Structure formats: C-alpha cells, structure tokens
Amino acid sequence: MAPSSDWVMIGNNEAIGLKAIAAVSFERFRQAVIEAVAGEARLSALPVWSPGDSGGLRVIAVLSLPQRGELGLLSAALPDRWPSLTPHCPAAHWFEREIAEQWGLTPEGHPWLKPIRFQPCRRHPDGGSRSACAGLTDFFAMAGQESHEVAVGPVHAGIIEPGHFRFLCHGETVYHLEISLGYQHRGIERAMTGGPVPRSVHYMETLAGDTTIGHVTAYSHLLEALAGATVPARGKAIRAIAAELERIANHVGDLGALAGDVGFLPTRDYCGRIRGDVLNMTAAVCGNRFGRGLIRPGRVQWDLDGGLTEDLLARLDAVEKDVTGAVPLMLDTPSVLARLEGTGVVSSETARDIGMVGVAARASGLECHVCAEFPYGIYRLAQLPVNTWTGGDCAARTYVRWFEVQASIDFLRHQLLELPAGPVDRKLSPMAPESLAVSLVEGWRGEICHVAATDRESRFAFYKVVDPSFHNWFGLALALRGQQISDFPLCNKSFSLSYCGHDL
Amino acid sequence: MLKILKTRFQQKYRTLSYPDGPAPEMPLRFAGRPVLDPGCQAGCGACRSACPTGAIMAAPAGGTLSLDTGRCLFCRACEKSCPQGLIRFSRDHGLASATRQGLVIETGAVQTVSARNELAATLFARSLKLRQVSAGGCNACEADCNVLGTPAWDIGRFGIQFVASPRHADGLLVTGPVTDNMRLALEKTYAAVPDPKIVIAVGACAISGGPYAEHAEQHNGASSVVPVDLFIPGCPPHPLTILDGLLKLSGRITAVENS
Ligand code: SF4
Ligand code: SF4
C-alpha cells in the first residue's frame, strides 16, 4: 500500500528545505504514520525538536519505503498529550517512550510508558519527571507460587557494557524479560545541537565504538548531503572497505562468543584471534583498530597507497582460510546446533510488527538491508548480497552472520582489486540553512539512521541518531519468552546489541 | 574429533612471546606517544583550536606547549593543523603513568614516567584479579581489554585475570567517563572489593571524560569517584598499551626514558 499523498519523498542522503516538508494536523499525522507502517513502510526515525520561533515542538516521521527506494517525510506540531500510536503501530513504542522522556510529554494509552534512558528532560533539565536513579522505575510483576524475579546488572559478570535485566519467571520458565538501559547515557544528541564543532565527528566515532565506521559514514553522508556534494569514487570505495572490515570483525567476534556460550571452545578461541587480525587490517589502513580518524565529511583521511592494497589482499586470504576452518567446525557439530536451534525464536510477524532491523530481522526472514534497498556510496555500483534465514532462532542469527562474513570477504576482495583511481577528498561548501537530510547506512548490526536539520545559520537545529539496537532490544526481550534464564547469554550474543549506541 | 584436531593444527600456536621476546610491531600509521618539537614557542595556536578536547595547553609562563595524553583522542588533528610540523605522533605504545601529571607531555622535555605500584608489585605480583566496570564510553576500551584474554595475548600468563565478582577482585579496571547513571554502581562495586585494592583507569574517557568531558551527564572520569593508581591513555588504547601498563604496574617491566 502506498502511503497517502501528504508524504514528501526524498532519496537516501538527499537534503530538502524544511519548508518543503508537509506539515499537517497531528491527528492526520498520526493516521498517516499508522497506515503507512501497516503497509510496507518502516519507521526509521521520529525526531522531535523545538524550532525556537513559536516555542512549540515539531515532530517529523521518517519512513523508509523499501519498495520505492525512497524515504517519506511528514511533520506536525506535537501537542503535550496525544493518543498513543503504539497500540496501532507497535513499531512506534520505543520512539514514543523516548519522546515522552526527552520532552516531558504524554502519549496517552501507551501500553508501557517508562523511561528508556533515565536522561534529563530537555524542556525541564533540572527536574520534571526524571527518576532519581537509573533503573528506578516500575517493572512488570508476576504473583503466585513458584513465581520469582531475577535481576541482573547494571554491572555484569564479564567485560561488557552496563544494562539492567529483570527476568520474570515461573519455575524455570521465563515469562518475560524487561531490559532497562540508559547507564551509558552521556548526552551525545544534546551536544550535537548547534554543531558541527571539532568534537562532533568524535561523538559519531564513539557513539557506538564497535560501529565507528558505520556511524561516521552516516554522519559524513549527512553533511555531504546538506552541502550538496559527494566524495570521489576512490573515497567511497575506501569507506566501503572499512565498513566491510568492521562487519567481518564484529560478526567473527560474535560467532566466537556464541561458540563460547555453548561451550565449544576451539571456535571461540580461533574467532577471538581472527577478529583481532581483521581489526589489525583496519589499523593498517588508518592506524586505529576501530577505524578512528579514517572517515571525515568530504574525505577519507588515509589513502590505500604504497602497497597497502596488496598487503590487505594477502591478509584477507589468510583471514578467509582461518575463518572457513574455525566457523564450519562449530556449525558442523550436532551438539552445537542442538543448543542453537529453537532457542530464542522471534517470528517474522513479530519482527515486522516491532520494527526489527538488520541481522536479527533477516534471521526472522525479513529481507531488509539498506545496501540493497537504499544503496549509497560504492554500494550503488557493487552489490552486497542479502542473506536471510527462517526460524528466527539463535541458529538463524548465527547462520546469517556466517553468510554475511563470507559475502563481505568476497565483496572486500573485489573492492580491493578494482579500487578506482583518483582523489579521495572533495572540498565541502557550507551546509544549506533550514534544510533537513536523512542518511541510512547498513551497519554490521543493521539499519543506522541519522537525521539532522539546520537552522538559519546552518548549524544543527537537531541531530537524531537511531542505532539498530534501538529497534532490536525489545526483540531480545521477546526472544526470551518461554525460554530458561540459562538461554539468556546465548540469545543476548545472537542479537549482539549495543548499549552505548542505544543510550547515546 | 579428527576435524577439530586438524583445525587446531592449521590454526597454529599464536601466543605472543612478549615481554620475553620483542613487542609486536605496531601498525605504520599508529598514533602512539606524541612528540612536541622544542622549536614551537606556542605561537599560532592552530593546534589548540583544532583539538576537540582541549588536550593542548600553553604553559602559563613561558608559552611552551604541553599535551595531556589523558585528554587526547589521538586523532592527529593537531598534527595536521601545525603549519610547521612541530607536533607528531611516534609509534611508541608505552603511555601509562601512575600519576595524572605523568600523562602530560612537555615540549622537548625528557621525561621518565613511572607506572609502578607497590601493592601491585608485591602483594599482587603473582596474582592480580580485576573486576572491570564499564561506566559510559563507547565499548571500544572494553573490547580491547577483552582481547587481552584471547590466546594471542593471554594475560593469564602473568597471573592477571578478569573476574566476575568484585568480592573476588584485587582491584577495578574502569572504562568510560562515569556517567551520572553509572556513578552509584561504580561506587558500590568499589566498596565491594576487599582492601587493599587498586584502581586502573583505561582510556581517555576514564581519565578525563574523553570526548564527553564537561558534559553534565558524566563526571569527567574515574578519579571523580574512586582513587586511581594507574592511568592508561588512548581512545581506545591499543591492547599492547594496556598490557604494557599492567606489566609496568606490577614491576614486570620498567619504564624507559621517554624523550
Ligand atoms: S591528537 Fe590529541 S592533542 Fe591532537 S588534536 Fe587530537 S585530541 Fe587533541
Ligand atoms: S576512551 Fe575512547 S575508546 Fe575508550 S570508551 Fe572512551 S570514547 Fe571509547
């Protein structure tokens, strides 16, 4: 179903004047979003900002319409209270909670309205509805004999980020898992407002450290769109090379961690090291294992010169050989598969309803992949195959990762062999004033969406980041239903979501 | 079983010989210990305005430059901005210091920085159990601490181990700027570690707030909440930088003169 004619269509990495985005009444906005998401559209972002002139707040819906390869925009004035979209559009549930928390507003009839980050309210920074302490909020409760709760975190047993998990159990069975985040909140979006400043690009490189390339690419695309320029082909190719290295490194690391969680130690140990070898390839390109300092708006700061391409190709061959030894070893072992199969199932309907993206969505059979749907940079010329799997269980998420590793290795080899000649940078003119742009990137976890608008002085009026984890944390909660607590590490690893990318 | 053995054979023996053998070579483009050329009299200030974190300071009196590696993101913006090329980054991975002041690099000065801790070098010399607390930040510092447990680095060789409970730990390894939302958890975790204990701050965030320094949502690093015994700069520090810091802390390797 095509969305109603109110929507203004733009392409990925395209800028549009703010005035060109249709503003409708909130009621009409609400209906339009509900209808579009019930059709083919994905709700990619729902930014709210205060334009400053009228004192009121505005909301913009950013839809991705994969079948058209376009993004739909629609805006409205946001009232203090509104009938929640969530009962009719579950994919809006986390967005509405975010808006309620950030701006001190109320989506009435939201089924479970509570903070997602425990951050100060933008309108009343000193008070408002902020909880005294992160994690101090209502949780689901269950009564009856043999029912009990298990609380874990924020400090966990391993070297991982902080988050709080509440398992509602009856006997051995988990009825629901509540995930309470926000411990990593450090005010990135707030600090982006009024930029760009020298720190802006560092916020982007560190908002989710394992996705440095993904987020800084989205940021660079956005600034380039607002400045009306793109980088030369060689620069695009180097960005994609870095992005695929990031994908391979993280997937290999996760495959190793999954092996560890099922107790299959050979693959865990090999993958842990192979991941390091891939990070070291990124370090060979730019000096930093996570790709810090490589990508900037309008350019890449390091070229692949002086025999580096040959060096990377040789290292890639070694990685391919090692990883095709290590991963099938695990996937050919019946006891490993028995542990993965049927554990942590998310059906494709559920995945679609709650708006899941990326690896986890593809493992539930959804064919979503920004590189294919809204191709950008070098992906407009070179295809990265989309791999899906059915089942929606830990096994499916493991397979999708493994297929993607193999596809990325092929893609990378091709890019390294066919690297376009020429410069890697372009001079950027200043950003257009009073304009908005959207940038979608397929990070290794899934769809990354950045939306920004400029004010009259071409400064950021707001900067919105939606990490794939934002869409997927609730999927992990649902995957745990009917499982045992002991399945949690496995399910968690199979989703492998970001805390800091969510908390911002 | 045969397949597992065959793969084991193919994957070879990979543990580093360091510190008995040579340190692994750092990538050619790696930004390690910065070197400030004495030629600069803190004239133009281009580096200071390029720096995202205010890591470069002119000394109040004379005007020579200093660079605080505790704030530095190793982004090379200063290096690029200097019209005379007076700031450069060496490939020296050794950056750790037992004092905050030891992280500040002065123009041209020859500095010997100690990272040794008496407690770590005596009581914990053969067994140092650490509880890691991630308190904000971006998870890259955590990732490179995790790496130390993989077979290639194998810090178990030195009796160093990350443990699951603060009750089993001899100290904390803190990453992240200490967000407001993690402050209480960090305090409680610290209190749960039995005395005597040490604290290690890893990464620009944990030392100074890093890219988030001065944000109202965080506390500019671990020292604001707990006493820190070792600072390991970087964003994130290379695993070798972290290992170097841990080995110097326990006196297994000694600081060399840095110039
Ligand atoms: S390398 Fe360090 S000192 Fe230089 S500009 Fe970057 S953060 Fe500042
Ligand atoms: S110091 Fe840098 S790498 Fe480490 S957590 Fe902070 S932002 Fe991330």
pLDDT top residue among A336 and B60 = A336
Query: Tell me, what's the pLDDT at B257?
Result: 44
What confidence tier does B66 reach under pLDDT thresholds 50, 70, 90?
confident
What confidence tier does B258 reach under pLDDT thresholds 50, 70, 90?
very low
- Taking only the tens place, the pLDDT of each residue in A130-175 is 556 788 888 888 888 888 989 888 988 888 899 999 999 998 899 9
Report yes or no: A73 and A61 within 8 Å, Cβ to Cβ: yes
Amino acid at B190: Y
Q: Which residues of B touch A210 (CB under 8 A)?
A: 139-140, 143
- Taking only the tens place, the pLDDT of each residue in A322-341 is 999 999 999 999 999 999 99
- Strand B128-134, strand B160-162: pairing: parallel
Q: Which CATH class for the A195-466 domain?
A: mainly alpha
Q: Give the residue-averaged pLDDT of A469-483.
A: 95
Question: ipTM of this model?
Answer: 0.92
Residue B5 touches chain A, beta carbons under 8 Å: no
Q: Give the residue-averaged pLDDT of A445-457.
A: 95
Query: Tell me, what's the pLDDT at A9?
Result: 93
Q: Which residues of B touch A305 (CB under 8 A)?
A: none
- When mean pLDDT is compared across A11-25, A89-103, B140-154, B244-258, the lowest value belongs to B244-258
- Taking only the tens place, the pLDDT of each residue in A221-274 is 999 999 999 999 999 999 999 999 999 999 999 999 999 999 999 999 899 899
Measured distance between the N- and C-terminal CA atoms of chain A, rounded to whole angstroms: 34
Residue B45 touches chain A, beta carbons under 8 Å: no
Residue A433 touches chain B, beta carbons under 8 Å: no
Structure tokens at B99: 């004092």
Give the domain ranges of chain B: 118-249
pLDDT top residue among B59 and A354 = A354
Give the domain ranges of chain A: 8-116, 195-466
Tell me the residues of chain B between 193 and 252 that have a Cβ less than 8 Å away from chain A: 210-212, 215-218, 235-236, 238
Query: Tell me, what's the pLDDT at A55?
Result: 67
Tell me the residues of chain A between 281 and 310 that have a Cβ less than 8 Å away from chain B: 283-290, 292-293, 302
Residue A199 touches chain B, beta carbons under 8 Å: yes
Mutate to test the interface with B, among A288, A323, A333 (most CBs of B within 10 A): A288
Query: Tell me, what's the pLDDT at A1?
Result: 47
Tell me the residues of chain A between 458 and 477 that have a Cβ less than 8 Å away from chain B: none
What confidence tier does B8 reach under pLDDT thresholds 50, 70, 90?
confident
- Taking only the tens place, the pLDDT of each residue in B114-149 is 888 878 778 887 889 999 999 998 999 999 998 998
Query: Tell me, what's the pLDDT at A145?
Result: 84
What confidence tier does A126 reach under pLDDT thresholds 50, 70, 90?
low
What is the dotted CATH code of the domain comprising A8-116? 3.30.460.80
Closest CA to A355 of A86, A47, A70, A7: A86
Is B74 touching ligand 1 by the criterion CB < 6 Å? yes
Using the beta-carbon criterion (under 8 Å), do B181 and A203 form an inter-chain contact?
no
Q: Give the residue-averaged pLDDT of A94-106.
A: 93
A202 CA: nearest ligand 2 atom: 7
Cis bond upstream, residue A125 (ω within 30): no
**Residue from B175, B219, B241 to probe ligand 2 pocket by mutation (most atoms less than 8 Å from CB):** B175
Closest CA–CA distance from residue B180 to any residue of chain A (Å): 8
Nearest beta carbon to residue B138 from set A162, A206, A302: A206
Q: Give the residue-averaged pLDDT of A87-115.
A: 93
Query: What values do phi and psi take at A346, rounded to 5?
Result: -120, 115
Q: Give the residue-averaged pLDDT of B60-86.
A: 87
pLDDT at residue A127 tops 60: no
Cβ neighbors of B81 (< 8 A, separation 6 or more) are B46, B47, B49, B50
Report yes or no: B173 and B243 within 8 Å, Cβ to Cβ: no
Topology of the domain comprising B118-249: Rossmann fold (3.40.50)
* DSSP secondary structure of A194-263: T---TTHHHHHHHSSGGGHHHHHHHHHHHHHHHHT----HHHHHHHHHHHHHHHHHHHHHHHHHHHHHTT
Closest CA–CA distance from residue A463 to any residue of chain B (Å): 16
Residue B72 touches chain A, beta carbons under 8 Å: no
Using the beta-carbon criterion (under 8 Å), do B3 and A332 form an inter-chain contact?
yes
- Taking only the tens place, the pLDDT of each residue in A35-55 is 999 998 999 999 999 887 766
pLDDT top residue among A259 and B3 = A259
Q: Which residues of A touch B215 (CB under 8 A)?
A: 186-187, 191
Closest CA–CA distance from residue B40 to any residue of chain A (Å): 23
Above pLDDT 70, what percent of chain B? 94
Query: Tell me, what's the pLDDT at A131?
Result: 59
Closest CA to A390 of A356, A366, A420, A357: A366
Q: Give the residue-averaged pLDDT of B151-162.
A: 88
Residue-averaged pLDDT of chain A: 92
pLDDT top residue among A216 and B22 = A216
Query: Tell me, what's the pLDDT at A348?
Result: 95
**Centre of ligand 2 from the C-alpha of residue A422, in Å:** 34
pLDDT at residue A287 tops 70: yes
Closest CA–CA distance from residue B107 to any residue of chain A (Å): 24
pLDDT top residue among A348 and B45 = A348
